[in-house]
Amino acid sequence: MAGVTLDTVRKIYAGNVEAVKGVSLDVEDGSFCVLVGPSGCGKSTLLRMIAGLETISGGDIRIGDRVVNQVEPADRDIAMVFQNYALYPHMSVYDNMAYGLRNRKTPKDEIEKRVKEAARILAIEPFLDRKPRALSGGQRQRVAMGRAIVRKPQVFLFDEPLSNLDAKLRVQMRVEIKRLQKALGVTSIYVTHDQVEAMTLSDKLVVMSGGQIEQVGSPAEVYRRPETRFVATFIGSPPMNILPGKVEGPGRVSVGGQTIAVTDMREGLAPGSAIEVGLRPEDVQAGGAAGSSSLGMDVDFVEELGATQLFHGKVAGTDFVVQASTGQIPAETRKLTLSIDPANVHLFDPQTTKRLGRF
């Protein structure tokens, strides 16, 4: 098994469109790395470059200690699971899984052993003789996974493998992929636009935007300490509220004339300068509390989510969402006082959008 290292990897398409702008990343051996970002952020292109399906315009890609820039996909010792499964429609499930091994001249009994083993792990033994078209979406997904694991590759690549499944199956397959990866211990790189998938699957979360990496870290790190406003609003659901504010002094900012205490604030910011104040909907509480600052909110409407309710409204003229356990705040409330824990306030530079926290 091997890790994957990217060194200032670039992709420039004809017409000077730069899809990937110098990405450097270390994926440790055996870890599960998720690339997440909106459509067109270059995450799929990056994955296809690792697979060898796209040429590399600049930089180096290493699998283990080997630079693979010019190596054919077949010789990179990787396996890929595609969004539309990409099963061979004219072959049975067994042949789909055996194809890669036959191409590599694996002995027949070894092929049979490995395919049976994979089919057992994935619970697709009853379907080995069927053609893919006779399978459901979830079963096809398993066959695609099976095709990847029989090869025992150095690296698994997943290109949005769950986006063609319905919501319930997606959650189920997500858990299975995680379990399988832990059991096999194969380095995995997984591309998705779904931040819930990204948070739940990854050991290492890579948030991308506009062909660049915005932040790399464990899911908890990325959630607790987003490095840019983009990451702050992309990771977390519902997204973080961003309010325009002013620097008042060390550890203090104000929003619409209401002062808030902040724990994680860069030193030396000029009082009176503009700043963006980020608050997660789940981090603000209704009602006053000791040691907290408070903000007034006008409520417009309430969304019911069952266990929780989302209160939509305005704070100092800016849209704001508060998430609260159902029943904690009466649904007919029109004016709320929110208490803010200083540790839960995120500050961003309005120009560079970078985090203005302590170093």
Please state the closest distance from residue 186 (CB atom) to other proteins, in A.
15
Cα 300 to Cα 332: distance, rounded to the nearest angstrom: 10
The answer to the question of residue 90 lying near other proteins (CB under 8 A) is: yes
281 Cα distance to chain centroid: 20
Q: Which is nearer to other proteins, 151 or 174 (CB)?
A: 151
Residues in the chain: 359
Judged by CB under 8 A, the stretch of 5-13, 68-76, 272-280, 323-331 that binds other proteins is: 68-76
Choose one: 76-84, 231-239, 282-290, 291-299; the region binding other proteins (CB under 8 A): 76-84
> Which C-beta is closer to other proteins: that of 19 or that of 78?
78
CB 157 within 8 A of CB 48: no
Task: Among 8, 38, 55, 88, indicate the residue that binds other proteins (CB under 8 A).
Answer: 88
Greatest C-alpha distance within the chain: 76
Interface pick for other proteins out of 17, 133, 330, 351 (rule CB under 8 A): 133
Type of residue found at 180: L
Residue 191 binds other proteins, judged by CB under 8 A = no
How far apart are the C-alpha atoms of 288 and 194, rounded to whole Å?
Answer: 35
Q: How far apart are CA 348 and CA 194, in angstroms?
A: 24
* Binding residue for other proteins, selected from 33, 36, 47, 78, defined by CB under 8 A: 78
Shortest Å distance, C-beta 106 to other proteins: 10
Catalogue the E-assigned strands of 257-332: 258-261, 274-279, 284-286, 293-304, 308-315, 318-325
Residues binding other proteins: number (CB under 8 A): 25
Q: Does 137 bind other proteins (CB under 8 A)?
A: no
SS3 of 24-84: the string is: EEEECCCCEEEEECCCCCCHHHHHHHHHCCCCCCEEEEEECCEECCCCCHHHHCEEEECCC
User: What residues from 39 to 58 belong to the interface with other proteins (CB under 8 A)?
Assistant: 51-53
Q: Which stretch binds other proteins (CB under 8 A): 37-45, 87-95, 218-226, 338-346?
A: 87-95
**What single DSSP character describes residue 237?**
S
Is the CA virtual torsion 121, 125, 131, 135 positive or negative? negative
Q: Which stretch binds other proteins (CB under 8 A): 79-87, 175-183, 195-203, 205-213?
A: 79-87
Residue 325 beta carbon to other proteins: minimum distance, rounded to whole angstroms: 44
Which range touches other proteins (CB under 8 A), out of 99-107, 108-116, 189-197, 295-303?
Answer: 99-107
State which residue, 74 or 183, has the beta carbon closest to other proteins.
74
CA–CA dist 143, 135 (Å, integer): 10
Q: Does 131 bind other proteins (CB under 8 A)?
A: yes
Minimum Å gap between C-beta 128 and other proteins is 17
- Minimum distance between the CB of residue 112 and other proteins, rounded to whole angstroms? 17
CA atoms within 13 A on the CB side of 134: 11
- The CA distance from 52 to 154, in Å, is 14
Cβ nearer to other proteins, comparing 96 with 292: 96
DSSP secondary structure of 149-217: HHT--SEEEEESTTTTS-HHHHHHHHHHHHHHHHHH--EEEEEES-HHHHHHH-SEEEEEETTEEEEEE
Does residue number 83 form part of the binding site for other proteins (CB under 8 A)? Answer: yes
Closer residue to other proteins in complex, CB, 66/104: 104
- Residue numbers of the site for other proteins (CB under 8 A)? 51-53, 72-74, 78-80, 82-84, 86-90, 99-100, 103-104, 131, 133, 147, 151
